[in-house]
Amino acid sequence: MIKRVTYKIILLLCLALVVQTCKNFNRSKIMKAPVAEKISKEINTNGHIRTDNYFWLCERDNPKVIKYLESENAFTKAVMKDTEKLQEKLYNEIVGRIKQTDMSVPYFENGYFYYTRYEDGKEYPVYCRKKESLEAKEEILLNVNEMAAGHEYYHVAGYKVSMNNNLIAFGVDTLGRRLYTIYFKDLSTGRILDDKIQNTSGSAAWSNDNNTVFYTLKDTETLRPYKILKHKLGAGSADKIVYEEKDDTFYIYVYKTKSRRFIIIASYSTLSNEYRFNDADNPDSEFKLFHPRERKLEYDIDHFEDKFFIRTNLDAINFRLMETPVKKTGRENWKEIIPHREDALVENFELFKNYLVVDERVKGLTQLRIINIKDNSEHYIDFEEQAYTAWISTNPEFDTQVLRFGYSSMTTPNSTYDYNMITKDKKLMKQQEVVGDFKPENYTSERLFAQADDGTQIPISLVYRKGIVKSGDNPLLLYGYGSYGHTTEPSFSSEILSLLDRGFIYAVAHIRGGQIMGRKWYEDGKLLKKKNTFTDFNDCAEYLINENYTDTNYLFAMGGSAGGLLIGAIINMKPELYRAVIAAVPFVDVVTTMLDESIPLTTAEYDEWGNPNIKEYYNYMLSYSPYDNVSAVNYPAMLVTTGLHDSQVQYWEPAKWVAKLRELKTDDNILLLHTNMDTGHSGATGRFKRYKETALEYAFLLKLSGIKD
């Protein structure tokens, strides 16, 4: 009897083992990561040979490439299957905080109040106006919900109304490649005109004859805006080229001055600007050169009465403000009105009949300076919070004493104010409504400084829910960008609440390569100083760990585009610092991309990254390029995202990077690649759809934090 029972137990154990083995086999079969085929390709640059085994993934039309991307998507879905309910919950939370029926604050321009509104449950905006009074009947200019029907991707950009208020020009992109077709609509009849202009940047500048527009044509391969053309409605003849930018390191665009007197053609590169202008009343007049381009001379212009106002870095690293007569625009005639300051970066300005408003950045924070043109008296708008962002908003009219500006902080939702420049009264016109139980007082924001290896103090902005104890075991998401002089502002994000309410701390590292601490901050994070961007971020991470905000087991990092390059570089340098990272549309194959002049952005960005055809820059770039520096080490868990039609960072960069990581990394941590097969660099269009990917990203972070709900 004992033997029979023993045998029975053994048999049951064996059966259980077989069943579990089968389950494990099936699971391993489902969860097996894709392996990209290796096809060796040698790339010889400056006498140095690199071998790229995954170069073939650049073949967008190759069915094998599409199959590989789809297999990665299937793998991501399988690995994240246990979070599907959580993803749905996160998505509903994020969308649930957005006021469904909403409207922007109207602004007045040329006889009409213009505004944008959203309808309950609809993805896209409705652009509207009312004549002379907000009590007037609403006129719908564009209902993008109706226009987008039947499209997976639909984006309207750059709509402009003619001076007689009867016509509207607008750009449409249905692929995500940022190649827009410009259409024209007769606002009196609602009819779309037969005129249609393809392969543009999406925006048109109306001349004052209400029949002529100027627009920017893009190269369909490199996507560089390179020609300005003149189009006359209904003419049927070929559009006339009025300017062609032949230097492939420059981009161009066209716009009308606030005064509505001039059409401006702007040429710009990383280090230089050049402008041309003609009379908006006479669209057939020749464009005049404002001032010829000079290397390292940056300037931008606007017009008022008999003068042009100029913001420039001429003998001023942090920029200054100057003016010149309309009839004498060469820089020998420029006269200083706001001098250069070492402690203040002049970022923007706005002209009014009696006032000049200057947007300055001091110690990393925006200040709005109000100057009375008549008596030269001045003052600053008072902002009370420790860390915030403010900006000049939409101000199309000259003859007003009211400035419209925007304001936000990490605990204050985006707010629109009207500020009386005489009485100094601020009127809150609208604050972003966060639906639900959100209360700003439940959250705390801090501004910290981490010390870099060279002694530089790096600002960190962070926010968390009150009650969190600095015990070293808090999950913390550290975000960074650090390129092009772009500053990631300490502003409000309603979607981040889904992390904060689950115990996360959210922090932004204001690393060099941005411009938060002035122009030198940018200069010290580009070209042959680019590595400062990456070491600054790691120094911020270590500071947060040392100060017990978090620990290596709970520290997460995230960045997108050039910020994705940041993520790739930091984990090659110090992979042990992070539990997991998210790299969104990451620029990770730096050397190969910068060697290919057919790829969008390449030649125009030599002054940002360097020209790898020059050995010094090649060697330096090669020393930090994430794809080229993947090695056989333990990496943190990773989620990498991209879009098949991305025009800024081609999909194959993250695809190649993930393939190489799978080949070489020595850990068992999750590595996921998610490709949106319908979109480009900015992800999905629509008000709500884009949060599906946000929900995936947050679920990934929560899964690795052990938070299941």
Does residue 209 lie in a domain region?
Answer: yes
Q: Same domain, yes or no, for 157 and 284? A: yes
676/27: higher pLDDT: 676
Instruction: Give the C-alpha separation, 589 to 628, whole Å.
Output: 7
Does residue 661 lie in a domain region?
Answer: yes
Q: Same domain, yes or no, for 114 and 189? A: no
Q: Pick from 265, 297, 329: which residue ends a domain? A: 297
At 2 the pLDDT is 33
Residue 222 above 90 pLDDT?
Answer: no
Q: Same domain, yes or no, for 464 and 602? A: no
At 680 the pLDDT is 60
Does residue 421 lie in a domain region?
Answer: no
Q: Where does the pLDDT of residue 175 fall: very low under 50, low under 70, confident under 90, or very high at 90 and above?
A: confident
Q: Same domain, yes or no, for 584 and 468? A: no
Instruction: Please give the single-letter amino acid code of residue 296.
Output: K
Q: Pick from 257, 273, 297: which residue ends a domain? A: 297
Q: Tell me the CATH number at 290.
A: 2.130.10.120
Residue 21 above 70 pLDDT?
Answer: no
Q: Same domain, yes or no, for 194 and 57? A: no
306 is catalytic: no
Q: Same domain, yes or no, for 504 and 619? A: no
Residue 57: closest CA among 657, 664, 698: 657
Residue 449 above 60 pLDDT?
Answer: yes
Q: Same domain, yes or no, for 167 and 139? A: no
Instruction: Please give the span between the terminal C-alpha atoms of the chain, in angstroms, as a whole number.
Output: 50
Q: Same domain, yes or no, for 191 and 221? A: yes
The boundaries of the domain holding residue 225 are 151-297
Q: Could you say which of 646, 647, 682, 705 is catalytic?
A: 646
Does residue 402 lie in a domain region?
Answer: no
11/181: higher pLDDT: 181
Residue 28 above 90 pLDDT?
Answer: no
At 690 the pLDDT is 85
> Over the stretch 53-103, which tens digit does the pLDDT of each residue have?
999 999 988 999 999 999 999 999 999 999 999 999 999 999 999 998 899
498 alpha-carbon distance from chain centroid: 21
Does residue 65 lie in a domain region?
Answer: yes
Q: Tell me the CATH number at 531.
A: 3.40.50.1820
Q: Pick from 266, 297, 328: which residue ends a domain? A: 297
Q: Same domain, yes or no, for 528 and 617? A: no
Q: Are 409 and 385 in contact (CB under 8 A)?
A: yes
At 604 the pLDDT is 78
Instruction: Give the C-alpha separation, 534 to 623, whole Å.
Output: 12
At 23 the pLDDT is 35
Residue 109 above 80 pLDDT?
Answer: yes
645 is catalytic: no
Structure-derived torsion over alpha carbons of residues 365, 366, 372, 373, reported in degrees to the nearest 10: 120
Q: Same domain, yes or no, for 260 and 223? A: yes
Instruction: Give the C-alpha separation, 122 to 103, whole Å.
Output: 13
561 is catalytic: yes
At 386 the pLDDT is 77
Q: Could you say which of 231, 291, 681, 682 is catalytic?
A: 681
> Over the stretch 658-696, which tens digit does the pLDDT of each residue have?
999 999 999 999 999 999 987 665 555 667 888 999 999
Q: Same domain, yes or no, for 488 and 598? A: no
**Which DSSP category does 433 fall into?**
-
Does residue 202 lie in a domain region?
Answer: yes
Does residue 377 lie in a domain region?
Answer: no
> Over the stretch 475-528, which tens digit does the pLDDT of each residue have?
999 999 999 999 999 999 999 999 999 999 999 999 999 999 999 999 999 999
Does residue 652 lie in a domain region?
Answer: yes
Q: Same domain, yes or no, for 529 and 625? A: no
- Angle, CA of 435, 439 and 442, to the nearest 5°: 140
Mean pLDDT, rounded, for 400-417? 97
Count structural domains, the chain.
4
Q: Could you say which of 272, 561, 625, 705 is catalytic?
A: 561
